[in-house]
Structure formats: structure tokens, C-alpha cells
Amino acid sequence: MTSANRDPRLSVFLPKEHGSWSLAFEPLVLGLLVVPSVAGAALAASAASAFFCRRPSKALLSGTPGTRRGTRAAAALFVLCAATGMVEASILGGRAALWPLLLAAPIGGLFLFYDLKNEARAASAELAGGTAFALIPAASATLAGWDFKSALALAAVMLARTVPTVIVVRSRLRLNKTQEVSRIVPVIAAIAALLLLVLLASSSLLPWVAAFLSLVLVARAIVLLSPWGISFSPRRIGITEATLGALYVAGTYLGYRTGHFPRTP
């Protein structure tokens, strides 16, 4: 039983999709660790508020019968926090520094489109939501004064984690249900992410440890999608992914810290 089931007050805003926590908060934590700034913290608070705002706002917009006062209060509170954080970030770091959000906004809008149609668990919706959050570290970087190449490279680190993870985990869960699914495509996605990070690391835009960690994710994809009869329960997959996500963020942070990024010509 989840905490949201035990306490109805929490169920007002806590998402039911457990995997969404990693997709949303790993990029926020990475941005706060690698490029700490007050403006970046305000941006992270705004994004976190938007994450928690989703469920009560959806209930209000859909006109769900019996909408509680607590739902309205939660939606109003998180909208206010999200707006306040965004305004504070723009004041402290400058509106021009928030240009990476122009990339994230339409992709986030695509997720909302699916969410309002009650299709938030569709593959395209999960990829859109994860990608939107994965781009936020780029804004954290530009708020701290990084150039656009270094900022986008930081976002690429999270994209290389997020996009293949969604594809791999969804494929594994479908295999659990004995559904037809390609075992090759998710592995190819993980390898493509690895090659991207190798290219960026060879250009001194990110630490090599990020590429190594992506290699670990390739190995994870191969094991999860192995045709040799290995069984992985949803709970086991969730714990494994949460652990890998924490190690990925921590290892990348240490790589940036010891490698003195961003590097300028």
C-alpha cells in the first residue's frame, strides 16, 4: 500500500505513476548539484510544483464529480508556487537565460495533451514528459552563466538516461505480460544514447564518467530484455531503476565536479 493510499490528503497531488518520480526529479537534482545557484533552485522549485500540480489541476479541468475543496486548494497552491519560482528565476538569472525552456515547453505541452485524454501512460506521453524534464538542467546551466553548448550537453546527459529508460522499462513490462515486443529496438536506443555521450565527452563538453554510466545502462537494457527467461517483477524493476538513477546522478555530478566543467577554449 502506498503512502497516497494510506492518507487521502496526500492522494490529492501525489502521482500514481511511480516511475514519473525518477523521470521528473533526477534532472532537477542533477541541475541543482552540477550548477547550484539561487536562480536554479527557484527553477527547480517551480518545476517540482508543476509536477505536483498536475493531478489536482487535471481533476478540476476535467470536472471530476465530487471534487474536494482540498483538490482546489492544492491546485491553487502549486500553481502559485510554480509561477513564483519561475518569476524569481527570471529575475535572478535573467529571462534570456531561460531559453532552454522554449525547447521543453512544446514537449511538455504534448504530454499535457495526452494527459487530458487520459493517455498519460502511453509511450509517446511518457517520452514527452520525461524529455521535457530532462531539458530543465540546460536552463539551470544557462541561469548559472554556462554557454549554450555546455548547457545542452548537460541536458543530453539526462536525455541519454531518460529516453532509453522509458523504452526499455516499457518493453520489459510488456514482456512480463507475454505481449509482442522488440528486444532489439530498446537496446539500440540505449546504444545510441551511449554514442551521443561518447561524442560529447570526446569534445570535452561533459565528463567521460557520464559515458561510462551510459554504458552501464546499455548493460542493464541487455539484461532486462534478455531472451534467456530471466524474470523481473515491476517492483524489482522499480527498485533497480531508482538505484541506477541515483548512481547516475551522483556519478555524473562527481565527474563534473572533478573535471572542472564547463571548459572554455
What integer is the mean pLDDT of 36-57? 93
Q: How high is the mean pLDDT of the chain?
A: 89
Q: Answer yes or no: do 116 and 182 share one domain.
A: no
What integer is the mean pLDDT of 69-73? 75
Domain end: 146, 169, 187, which one? 146
Q: Answer yes or no: do 212 and 90 share one domain.
A: no
In sequence order, what DSSP letters do the residues of the chain get, joined into one string?
--HHHH-HHHHTTS-S-THHHHHHHHHHHHHHHHS--HHHHHHHHHHHHHHHHHHHHHHHHTT-TT--HHHHHHHHHHHHHHHHHHHHHHHHH-GGGGTHHHHHHHHHHHHHHHHHTT-TTSHHHHHHHHHHHHTHHHHHHHHTT--HHHHHHHHHHHHHHHHHHHHHHHHHHHHHTT----SHHHHHHHHHHHHHHHHHHHTTSS-HHHHHHHHHHHHHHHHHT-SS-----HHHHHHHHHHHHHHHHHHHHHHHHHHTPSP--
Confidence of residue 17 (pLDDT cuts 50, 70, 90): low
Model confidence at 65: pLDDT above 90 = no
What integer is the mean pLDDT of 73-101? 94
Distance of CA 121 to the CA centre of its chain: 15
What's the rounded Cα separation, in Å, for the pair 83 and 232?
41
Model confidence at 2: pLDDT above 50 = no
Domain end: 146, 170, 187, which one? 146
Q: Answer yes or no: do 141 and 79 share one domain.
A: yes
Model confidence at 15: pLDDT above 50 = yes
Model confidence at 11: pLDDT above 90 = no
Q: Answer yes or no: do 92 and 136 share one domain.
A: yes
Residue 22 and residue 242 in contact, taking contact as beta carbons nearer than 8 Å: yes
What's the rounded Cα separation, in Å, for the pair 129 and 144?
24
Q: Answer yes or no: do 225 and 107 share one domain.
A: no
Confidence of residue 10 (pLDDT cuts 50, 70, 90): low
pLDDT in the model for residue 95? 95
Q: Answer yes or no: do 115 and 188 share one domain.
A: no
Model confidence at 19: pLDDT above 90 = no
Of 151 and 4, more confident: 151
What integer is the mean pLDDT of 60-69? 62
What's the rounded Cα separation, in Å, for the pair 30 and 81?
21
Confidence of residue 250 (pLDDT cuts 50, 70, 90): very high
Domain end: 146, 180, 209, which one? 146
Q: What is the pLDDT of residues 196-238, one digit of tens each?
A: 999 999 999 999 999 999 999 999 999 999 887 677 888 889 8
pLDDT in the model for residue 6? 47
Q: Answer yes or no: do 26 and 137 share one domain.
A: yes
Q: Answer yes or no: do 209 and 87 share one domain.
A: no
Task: Give the residue numbers spanning the domain of 179.
Answer: 148-265
pLDDT in the model for residue 1? 35
Q: Answer yes or no: do 110 and 164 share one domain.
A: no
Model confidence at 63: pLDDT above 50 = yes
Q: Answer yes or no: do 123 and 161 share one domain.
A: no
Q: Answer yes or no: do 9 and 104 share one domain.
A: yes
| pTM: predicted TM-score of the whole model, two decimal places | 0.89
What integer is the mean pLDDT of 44-64? 83
What's the rounded Cα separation, in Å, for the pair 263 and 265?
7
Q: Answer yes or no: do 126 and 157 share one domain.
A: no
Number of compact structural domains in the chain: 2
Q: To 5 degrees, how large is the angle CA 228–CA 234–CA 240?
A: 80
Percent above pLDDT 90 for the chain:
67
pLDDT in the model for residue 133? 97
Confidence of residue 4 (pLDDT cuts 50, 70, 90): very low
pLDDT in the model for residue 72? 80
